Amino acid sequence: MAKIGIIGSGSWGMALSALLYNNGHEVTVWSALPDEIKEMQQTHRHHTLPELILPDNMVFTEDLEETMSGKDLLITAVPSVYVRATAKQMNPFCRYGQVIVNVAKGIEETSLMTLSEILEEELPMANVAVLSGPSHAEEVSKGLPTTCVVGATTRKTAEYIQSIFMSEVFRVYTSPDIQGIELGGSLKNVIALAAGIADGLGYGDNTKAALITRGIAEISRLGTAIGGKIQTFGGLSGIGDLIVTCASMHSRNRRAGILLGQGKSMEEATKEVKMVVEGIYSAKAALALSQKYEISMPIVEQVNAVLFDGKSASEAVRDLMLRDKTIESSDIPWE
């Protein structure tokens, strides 16, 4: 049995808390929201996962030191925009060599850093790893079979985390490519907004397939330029996560995109979704990274134009379709 502290009580943090508890571990959950802690203490439920019943002896607290003290493993599950501030709060209570698994997805707009890079900067004493893949919290909380990948700096750390999470309904693979895993998990949210926009416009399966396929091409081009491995983008945290996020109504990014496609503003869409839409926060960072590394990312460009420049969704799709003619893969030579 491991002692685990989960920092962040959103739907993903709570789904993982139930999974890890059912795996036989001791789980403490932290939230910065006192009302949320009180709700879980009193009802043993979480408003975003109404069917999930939380165990009586799972600990819920707003005391960060209590959550971190003496833990074998810490999991950071706060939205990307709060990762740096939360890491600063964690610093006084973080011991040397503490294993931390980041399960949130995003890129910091101001620094263009991934979330694990932020954690390493703010918590230099920690051993930071990541967990990602096609894994909607709603399905994990119901015990539906799910597969993810854990990235770590050493095989030993990766296999330790793998052993903590593995169960008959949650299979975990290992990888040394932390950067590729994080970039795939973050950039796919921007493509999922585009897929949702297409759905909101009433387009069909052909359009969705095109966006997923060309989307992974964009993600792979940028990801490998930054240092990720091409195999990662063809795996669970790349094409796997992209498919599920573009296709499922569990995806808040797709749902927000649908509303944008129906003509609603970014503010109206996020208000209606009622959850953090990570793709909106990652879109500007993705565009800035594409410009920094001189990588063509037309889908990302058009998503930014719709989100921040007032461009209509239909015009964005038209401009994507009417770009200059090109070859599908420049790596395949003509005979």
288-298 pLDDT, tens per residue? 999 999 999 99
pLDDT of 249 strictly over 90: no
Give residue 75's pLDDT. 98
Give residue 327's pLDDT. 86
Give residue 161's pLDDT. 98
Alpha carbons 105 and 46: distance in angstroms, whole number: 21
Amino acid letter, 188: K
Amino acid letter, 261: G
pLDDT of 254 strictly over 90: yes
Instruction: Quick: pLDDT tens for 80-133.
Output: 999 999 999 999 999 999 999 999 999 999 999 999 999 999 999 999 999 999
The β-bridge relationship of strands 127-132 and 146-151 is antiparallel
Q: Of 15-24, 85-94, 324-333, which gets the smallest average pLDDT?
A: 324-333
Amino acid letter, 122: E
User: Mean pLDDT over residues 16-21, rounded?
Assistant: 97
pLDDT of 335 strictly over 90: no
Alpha carbons 52 and 35: distance in angstroms, whole number: 18
pLDDT of 191 strictly over 90: yes
Instruction: Kindly indicate the confidence band of residue 274, based on its pLDDT and cuts at 50, 70 and 90.
Output: confident
Domains and CATH numbers, the chain: 3-176 (3.40.50.720), 179-321 (1.10.1040.10)
pLDDT of 277 strictly over 90: no
Asked about 311 being catalytic, the answer comes back as: no
Give residue 292's pLDDT. 96
Alpha carbons 22 and 43: distance in angstroms, whole number: 19
Instruction: Kindly indicate the confidence band of residue 278, based on its pLDDT and cuts at 50, 70 and 90.
Output: confident
Q: What mean pLDDT, rounded, does the chain reach?
A: 94
Give residue 273's pLDDT. 85
List 71, 105, 188, 284, catalytic entry? 188
Instruction: Quick: pLDDT tens for 207-242.
Output: 999 999 999 999 999 999 999 999 999 999 999 999
CA angle 210, 213, 214 (to 5 degrees): 80
User: Mean pLDDT over residues 139-147, rounded?
Assistant: 97
The values of phi and psi at residue 101, to 5°, are -110, 115
Contact 100, 70 (CB under 8 A): no
Q: CB burial class (10 A; 0-12, 13-18, 19+) of residue 332?
A: exposed
pLDDT of 329 strictly over 90: no
User: Mean pLDDT over residues 160-168, rounded?
Assistant: 98
